[in-house]
A = this chain, B = another copy of it.
Amino acid sequence: MKKEKARERILKTAAELFYRQGFNSTGINQIIAEADIAIGSLYNHFSSKNDLLQAYLIMEENEWFRGFEEHSAGISDPGKKIISLITYRKKLQKTSGFAGCHFIKIASETGESIPAVSDFVKSHKEKQKKLIREMVQQYAQNTALDTDQFSEHIFLLIEGAVVSSTISKKASPFDHIQKITEAMLP
């Protein structure tokens, strides 16, 4: 697997640029310049710019779930685990300078013009919802809580907080929804 060195460098450079500048504002020439690679090599590893975009999304999704596992490692209390998802998203926003969610950003930019992308984002958000639903079910054992309703409520609050904090460049929406969520946990 040593042969993936060049590919990795291209991918990480492209990921950073796509996230910071946007997909359409990032040119192939800039990617190869910053990755210090020749254009022929890029097209040897990726068949097109769209192909590179999809590889970027897959990488970010893996990183997202890996990061959450790391962030919530050792937390066994179900209520605290739910809260840790909020603090995870807050941490992601803070460390990125409130640059936003990779998936919401790319979906906003490309709309429905690249079906593989809109499908991927849709599926990714469903995975996030499923994660929340499982945590809520874990929490709500033997209670009368409507888990579907509650899961959706938390999911939408988090999505709202991410978008709002990206625009305002402040972490306060996360503090807010943490308070709200803690108050809702019976």
Complex contact B110–A22 (CB within 8 A):
yes
Confirm or deny: A155 has a beta carbon within 8 angstroms of a beta carbon on chain B: yes
Complex contact B153–A156 (CB within 8 A):
no
Complex contact A104–B113 (CB within 8 A):
no
Complex contact A20–B157 (CB within 8 A):
no
Which applies to chain A's interface (DSSP): helix, strand, loop or mixed? helix
Residues of chain B lying within 8 A (CB to CB) of residue A158: 160
- Smallest CB gap from A108: residue in B: B108
A24, B109: Cα distance in complex, Å: 9
A21, B105: Cα distance in complex, Å: 14
Confirm or deny: A122 has a beta carbon within 8 angstroms of a beta carbon on chain B: yes
Complex contact A104–B156 (CB within 8 A):
no
Give me 13 other A-B pairs in contact (C-beta within 8 A), A20-B111, A22-B111 excluded. A107-B167, A108-B108, A108-B109, A108-B166, A121-B167, A122-B167, A125-B164, A153-B180, A155-B164, A156-B160, A156-B173, A159-B160, A160-B161
